[in-house]
Amino acid sequence: MKKQKLEINCAKCDARNINEELYEKYDTIEINAAVMLIDDRSREALSRLGAEIHAAKTLSAKDDVPVVEINGPHKITAAALPKKGTVLIVNGGVEIEKGANRAVEMYSYIDVNGNLECPESVVGSLANVRVNGCIGTYPDDYIKLHSKLTIDDMFIARAARDGKYYVGGTVSLTDRSVDVSRLTQKNVKFKTKRFITHEDRVDECHAMFDYDTEIIPAPSDCAIVGGSAKLNADLLDEYGTRLFVFGNLDARGNIADVLPQLEKLVVTGKITATRKNTAAIRNLGAKYKKLEIVREMTFTNVGNVRVTNEMLHASDGVAVQNCAVLTIDEDISTEDIKNLLEGANVGYIVGSKEQTAAAQSVCKNVGSVMAPEEYEEYRNSKKDDNTVEIDTAEYVM
């Protein structure tokens, strides 16, 4: 009797208590996991079974050690002490409060898939912490606020005299009616990555920030949009027709009636626009880091896309990025493919010999091209009735 193949696809695979006998019936074992938990015994057992392991992270922990996984932001406090030796996995940002050194040291291992922020006094306790992101530290005598702060009358009223505030991302002063002198008179200080305000207000504000802060001056005649935005009538209703956008601007869609209203446009990041909108943006004299011209219909990070004639002619064509299989309908001409299709990072292009040749000329990083019958034969060859496939968030062996 032919042995079966076992394929396990999961976010976390815990093999620490593996029963080797249950898996001896499989000829091959393939484990695809984001996190793999093992100990010395299970490592030897998996080796004897010939298991093929593909894991982003492999953690060694005894079978009685708790493993806590958190999806989302997490805060480590001085009051909540974990069981000694606990493994903590956080898929999100982590904040460690002042005085939580002992709590951090109680963990045998902390894995952070995100950013970590903590007071400077905690840095010496991070030896058992791995951060797949950025680490932000701040003086212990600073009060930590959210990652973004817009200075308004309410903040000024509540700010303490000689107050010191840490903002991990950006501090903004966008409202011209706000009297910032009330804040400077309180001798308030900020530690932050960047500060955005109008260029004619920089002098009255700069003393509140240290030399590490990037000061971003916006044109004095523009309204400040403090993050990425989509260009539409609502944006102009809120901010007016002279815009400084800190971030990226999406200028796709039917905005033919909006573009003529713009008087000035400055974008610190990129503008993403369709071909029909680019001329108006350029004629405006807009300033930007990059102008990315895209198709109206764009497919990104998808498994399979079938392109039809209707799709190609619905607007200005079709763009495909990061696609496993791109199939071209048989009635699409090679000329339409060259003029109305573009792509990047495509695993397989399926179509006639002439169609795939045309598609390769307008698509970057193509893995293989196949005729429809060839691809169907390839798909059938990959099917295996003797494969047991397990797809789950967490699998315990």
Question: For the chain, what percentages of helix, strand and coil (3-state, to nearest 5) are there?
Answer: 25, 45, 30
- 200 token code pair: 């004619």
The mean-pLDDT minimum among 19-28, 177-186, 198-207, 313-322 falls in: 313-322
Position 176 pLDDT exceeds 70: yes
- Cα separation values, 383 from 21, 47, 378, Å: 27, 27, 9
- Pick the range with the lowest mean pLDDT from 48-52, 96-100, 332-336, 379-383: 379-383
φ, ψ at 309 (rounded to 5°): -60, -40
**Confidence band for 2, pLDDT divided at 50, 70 and 90:** low
pLDDT given for residue 10 in this prediction: 83
If you average pLDDT over every residue of the chain, what do you get? 90
How high is the pLDDT of residue 79? 92
- Can you tell me the mean pLDDT for 319-325? 87
Which residue has better confidence, 58 or 230? Answer: 230
Contact predicate 264/281, CB 8 Å: no
pLDDT surpassing 70 at residue 383: no
Q: Tally Cβ neighbours within 10 Å of residue 327.
A: 18
Residue 170 has pLDDT above 90, yes or no: yes
Q: 27 with 384: CB under 8 angstroms? A: no
Q: Name every residue whose Cβ is closer than 8 Å to that of residue 69 and which is 6 or more positions away in sequence.
A: 12, 35, 89, 90, 91
Q: Which residues make beta-bridge pairs with 30? A: 7, 52
Residue-level pLDDT at 128:
87
Cβ neighbourhood burial of 385 (10 Å; 0-12, 13-18, 19+): exposed
Structural element, H or E, at residue 42 = helix 40-49
* pLDDT on residue 390: 86
Per-residue pLDDT at 381 exceeds 70: no
Residue 384 has pLDDT above 90, yes or no: no
pLDDT at 367: 87
Query: Helix or strand or coil: residue 311?
Result: helix
Nearest-angstrom CA–CA distance, 188 and 185: 8
% of the chain with per-residue pLDDT over 90: 53
Q: Yes or no: say if 216 and 241 are a contact pair by the CB < 8 Å rule.
A: no
**Alpha-carbon distance 107 to 122, whole Å?**
14
Residue pair 226/205 in contact by the 8 Å Cβ criterion:
no
Counting every residue written for the chain, the total comes to: 397
Q: What pLDDT digit, counting tens, does each position of 234-261 carry?
A: 999 999 999 999 999 999 878 888 999 9
Q: For position 34, what pLDDT does the model report?
A: 78
* Separation between Cα atoms, residue 323 and residue 347, nearest integer Å: 6
- For the ranges 60-69, 228-237, 378-387, which has the lowest average pLDDT? 378-387
Half-sphere exposure of 391 (CA within 13 A, CB side): 1
Q: 11 pLDDT band (50/70/90 cuts)?
A: confident
69-78, 205-214, 267-276, 372-381: lowest mean pLDDT where? 372-381
Q: What is the pLDDT of residue 385?
A: 60
Q: pTM for the complete prediction?
A: 0.69
Which residues are CB-contacts of 249 (< 8 A; sequence separation ≥ 6)? 228, 229, 230, 231, 265, 267, 269, 270, 271, 272, 288
The answer to which of 75-79, 148-152, 265-269, 297-301 has the lowest mean pLDDT is 297-301
